[in-house]
A and B are shown apart, each in its own frame.
Chain A
Amino acid sequence: MNPDSPRPSRAWVVALVATLVVAAFMTIGAVVIQARANRPIGEGQLFRAEAAAAAASLGSMPGSPSDQLRRIRNDLEIEAVVRVDEAGIITEATSDTLVGETISNSFLAFAHTEQRFGAVAVTSPSSISIDGVEEWPAQSAFYAVVQPLGDGSSLVLYYDISELLQRRSQAAGVSSAAFRLAGAAAAFLAVGAGLAYSRAKSLRRFREFEIENRILRDHAEALEARNRIIDEARAEAERAQQEAEAAYALAEEKSRVRAEFVLMINHELRTPLTAVVTGAELLSTTEGLTDEDRQQITDDMLFNGRRLQEIISQMLAVARMENRGLTVSMSPQSGGELLELAEKAHPRLSMGSGFNELGGEVVFTDRATLSHLIGSLVDNAYTHGASSVTIGASLELERLPQVTVGDLPDEPLYLTITDDGPGIDPSFLPRAFEKYEKASFSSGTGLGLYAAQLMADAIDASLSISTSRLGTSLIIGLPRTGRLAGLAL
């Protein structure tokens, strides 16, 4: 669980401040109370209260007057009580030795005469005895308290000053109220300290959590980096595997093509050769042949012989191009020159439209290679079932071709050779320019379009196919600018 955030909550701050404020007020209160308790306090209030109570009790007390005074003395736990008449003479006393004495202290005499309450420290002029026992020596110090009785007489109460002050000194100390208040303040301070401690603990936990978090984050980043390396290695391995598979497929394909080529050679060469040999045997061994039969056999032999010648010638031409390349001599050719070249390229090639619209356009090409290329394509068309082939020229194509090999020149001039054959199987198109590739039902060598591509490449031309069931167009894209005699224009 995520511990508290380092930022203290509002409730926590309010609680802490309130606790500290209350504790502060309580502490101040305790100090004030204690200060008041420590304030010097005289005995006046105590004397007046006790003396008034004693005077009030006199009337209701049983016993003789001296018994009453003794009772007052005992109740108040004081030293002596006397009663003084109007003349200032002691008439009753808890100590008989005092009876008949006169009040000599000037302040006592004054208070008695004025019938006012008063108290003053006095010293006894002589020793004082009670029941024959000397209780106080001469010069003993007392607090004498005068309490007028209202009839001119007064009660005088004698307190032992030392005992009184010692009692007060012992009673002095920490005020209970101040003590309680200080205790409460301490409790509040403890609560505040508890709050602060819990906060500090929480903060420490938060910092520990942050450190753990950082360590975990570092670990996660390290893991992520390792995973990335593993992924890259895996991708690399997959790429290598794909390349290996592709290389294997290529090798397999080459092997397949080579095998098919052997079969093709076997078929293409043997079939016409067999026809020639069989025709020769027929002519030499068969009797009774009519002139018409002989002519037919001779024609077949001638056809197959030429067929053989053509195949061998094509294979040799390809081998020559592959081994030695083509030597070309590029030169500018006008539209008219192109038309003239096309007309001579193949005897069964019909002239189509476009040549006359070329105007002053010029292409750069090698005349011999271009002528050979056109002738090859026308041958190819007739080989694959065309009955007529036409050539035209244009600067634009009516529709995009389905497949193109070679780099299309920037500003091409198109020569389009169109036949009325059955068209090329679309699935074969991607392989149409491959060496030894041919459609399964085709009777060619699989070298025609391959050889055409080699020638087009030699003259910086592109070669495209556009085919349908109604026929096929082979399009030569010739450059209108280019190299001339090996120099860039």
Chain B
Amino acid sequence: MRSMILGLAAAVMLSACGGSPDLLPEHEVDLFEFGIQSKAEWTPTAPVTVSNSGEFSHTLVITREDGGVVFASDVIGPGETATARLDLEPGEYELSCRLVAQTEGGDLIDHFEKGMHADLTIIE
């Protein structure tokens, strides 16, 4: 299936290494090995700050229940922070890291499988 509609419902402003000063973050997401820390409920329109407190690079992807992607960050390196302003429809979503690395020994480290996913509800 070639057609694809990205559910980016809002303009995404992303910057690495520090956020934009005119956006006051209301929601915070922390990425680490291997988990995602965040409030379970967000308001629909909210500035989001995503920080990586881990030692590996991570990403933050927000998907609907049917798997449709509504937000995908670029790689966020260790210690880096990214900000975004989202306008999401109320409903159930999932926060996750979509990064798969291979060790020198050849083993796969699938961040999602390791536990980097969390449920999110956008309330009215």
List residues of A whose CB falls within 8 A of some B CB. 40-45, 47-48, 77, 79, 105-107, 111, 116-123, 135-137, 139-141, 143, 160-169
**Chain A residues within 8 Å of B108, by CB:** 44-45, 48, 117
- Pick from A47, A117, A139, A160: contact of B4, CB under 8 Å: A160
Question: Could you write out 19 A-B pairs with CB less than 8 Å apart?
Answer: A40-B117, A42-B112, A43-B100, A44-B108, A44-B109, A105-B74, A111-B101, A117-B108, A118-B101, A119-B100, A120-B99, A120-B100, A121-B59, A121-B61, A121-B98, A122-B72, A139-B6, A161-B98, A162-B67
A109 nearest in chain B by CB position: B75
Do A169 and B59 touch (CB < 8 A)? no
B contact residues, range: 35 or more
List 10 tightest A-B contacts by C-beta distance, closest first: A165-B67, A42-B110, A44-B110, A141-B72, A42-B112, A44-B100, A121-B98, A166-B67, A42-B113, A119-B100
CB distance from A468 to the nearest CB of B (A): 133
Q: In the complex, A143 Cα to B111 Cα: how many Å?
A: 14
- Pick from B8, B61, B68, B98: contact of A139, CB under 8 Å: B8
Encode contact with A along B62-89: 1 for CB under 8 Å, 0 otherwise.
0101111100111101000000000000
**Chain A residues within 8 Å of B117, by CB:** 40
Q: In the complex, A111 Cα to B67 Cα: how many Å?
A: 26
Do A169 and B98 touch (CB < 8 A)? no
Do B59 and A120 touch (CB < 8 A)? yes
Do A140 and B6 touch (CB < 8 A)? yes
A118-B101, A162-B7, A162-B68 known; A141-B113 Cβ under 8 A: no
Do A123 and B72 touch (CB < 8 A)? yes
**Chain A residues within 8 Å of B5, by CB:** 162
Do A141 and B110 touch (CB < 8 A)? no
Do B99 and A121 touch (CB < 8 A)? yes
Q: In the complex, A220 Cα to B117 Cα: how many Å?
A: 81
**B1-16 interface (Cβ within 8 A of A):** 1-2, 4-8, 12
Q: In the complex, A325 Cα to B63 Cα: how many Å?
A: 141
A45 nearest in chain B by CB position: B108
Q: In the complex, A16 Cα to B104 Cα: how many Å?
A: 56
Do A105 and B75 touch (CB < 8 A)? yes
Q: In the complex, A48 Cα to B109 Cα: how many Å?
A: 12
**Chain B residues within 8 Å of A47, by CB:** 100
List residues of B whose CB falls within 8 A of some A CB. 1-2, 4-8, 12, 57, 59, 61, 63, 65-69, 72-75, 77, 98-102, 104, 108-114, 117
CB distance from A158 to the nearest CB of B (A): 11
Q: In the complex, A120 Cα to B75 Cα: how many Å?
A: 8
Interface of B is mostly: loop
**Chain A residues within 8 Å of B66, by CB:** 166, 169
CB distance from B76 to the nearest CB of A (A): 10
Q: In the complex, A160 Cα to B67 Cα: how many Å?
A: 11
A120-B99, A121-B98 known; A41-B75 Cβ under 8 A: no
**Chain A residues within 8 Å of B111, by CB:** 42
CB distance from B82 to the nearest CB of A (A): 12
- Pick from A107, A140, A141, A169: contact of B61, CB under 8 Å: A141
**Chain A residues within 8 Å of B73, by CB:** 121, 123
Do B67 and A118 touch (CB < 8 A)? no
B1 nearest in chain A by CB position: A163
B98 nearest in chain A by CB position: A121
B111 nearest in chain A by CB position: A42
CB distance from A280 to the nearest CB of B (A): 162
CB distance from A409 to the nearest CB of B (A): 124
- Pick from B4, B75, B102: contact of A106, CB under 8 Å: B75
Do B113 and A44 touch (CB < 8 A)? yes
**Chain A residues within 8 Å of B1, by CB:** 77, 160, 163
CB distance from B92 to the nearest CB of A (A): 12
- Pick from B8, B63, B100: contact of A42, CB under 8 Å: B100
Q: In the complex, A348 Cα to B77 Cα: how many Å?
A: 169
Q: In the complex, A77 Cα to B2 Cα: how many Å?
A: 8
What 15 new A-B contacts, CB under 8 Å, besides A105-B75, A139-B8? A44-B113, A106-B75, A107-B101, A120-B99, A121-B59, A121-B99, A122-B75, A136-B4, A140-B4, A140-B6, A141-B6, A141-B72, A160-B4, A161-B72, A165-B69
Do B110 and A106 touch (CB < 8 A)? no
CB distance from A222 to the nearest CB of B (A): 77
**Chain A residues within 8 Å of B59, by CB:** 120-121
Q: In the complex, A474 Cα to B84 Cα: how many Å?
A: 153
CB distance from A19 to the nearest CB of B (A): 39
- Pick from A139, A161, A163: contact of B12, CB under 8 Å: A139
**Chain A residues within 8 Å of B7, by CB:** 162
Q: In the complex, A141 Cα to B113 Cα: how many Å?
A: 20
CB distance from A73 to the nearest CB of B (A): 10
CB distance from A117 to the nearest CB of B (A): 4
B104 nearest in chain A by CB position: A116
Q: In the complex, A390 Cα to B24 Cα: how many Å?
A: 164
CB distance from A241 to the nearest CB of B (A): 106
Q: In the complex, A122 Cα to B98 Cα: how many Å?
A: 9
Q: In the complex, A117 Cα to B75 Cα: how many Å?
A: 16
Most buried by B among A107, A121, A122, A123: A121
CB distance from A233 to the nearest CB of B (A): 94
A42-B111, A42-B112 known; A107-B63 Cβ under 8 A: no
Most buried by B among A116, A141, A169: A141
**Chain B residues within 8 Å of A165, by CB:** 63, 67-69
Q: In the complex, A48 Cα to B63 Cα: how many Å?
A: 23
